Amino acid sequence: MKLTTRGRYAVTAMLDLALNGDKGPISLAAISQRQDISLSYLEQLFAKLRKNDLVASVRGPGGGYRLSRCREQINVADIISAVNESTDSTSCQGKGDCQKGEACLTHHLWDGLSHQIHDFLSGISLGSLTEQNEVRRVSERQISAAEETVVNAEALNL
């Protein structure tokens, strides 16, 4: 499984949705602000998330995104696969033709590792993440930081 910041961004954004999306859709602008991810990069990620039916969009003022299923039914492996369109560690995408049409020496090793990682991540749902104390604490900090920014902006007459 390919683990890059791309997947991290996607999971973080989806977790933001799970945490803050109880009362209506969440705009990418809000996620961008809370999670420090560039808006247009988020747009690209959410295009893929939408194609993979993990989120649904609501257009127009007050619009944004919401999870397309309940948070217990979306796991981390789903999210990473959606934005990476690849879930394994082998160079041959599990086909076994890594060396001139045949399996390379370590093909089985990477194959096993891919499964290991996938199993681990698919056992973790957005729901279970939102229940973690650590996550809640960080989330609350982010919300107050965002509110503070709004207050500051108002004080400056913006």
> What would the x/- binding string for a copy of itself be over residues 52 to 91, using CB under 8 A?
------------------------x------------x-x
39 belongs to the binding site for DNA (CB under 7 A): yes
150 scored as a contact of DNA (CB under 7 A): no
Using CB under 7 A as the binding rule, whether residue 28 contacts DNA is answered as yes
Compute how many residues bind DNA; rule: CB under 7 A: 30
Give CA–CA dist 106/6, Å, rounded.
27
Min separation Cβ 105 and DNA, Å: 15
Cβ-based nearer residue to a copy of itself, 30 or 104: 104
Distance CA 74, CA 70 (A): 7
Nearer to a copy of itself among residue 8 and residue 58 (C-beta): 8
In the window 26-45, what residues touch a copy of itself (CB under 8 A)? 35-36
Nearer to DNA, 28 or 121 (CB): 28
Q: Which two tokens stand for residue 67?
A: 């999870």
List phi, psi (to 5°) of 65: -120, 150
β-partners of residue 66 are: 56
Among 99, 143, 147, 150, binds a copy of itself (CB under 8 A): 99
Give the footprint of DNA on this chain (CB under 7 A): 2, 4-6, 9, 25-29, 37-41, 43-44, 46-47, 50, 57-65, 84
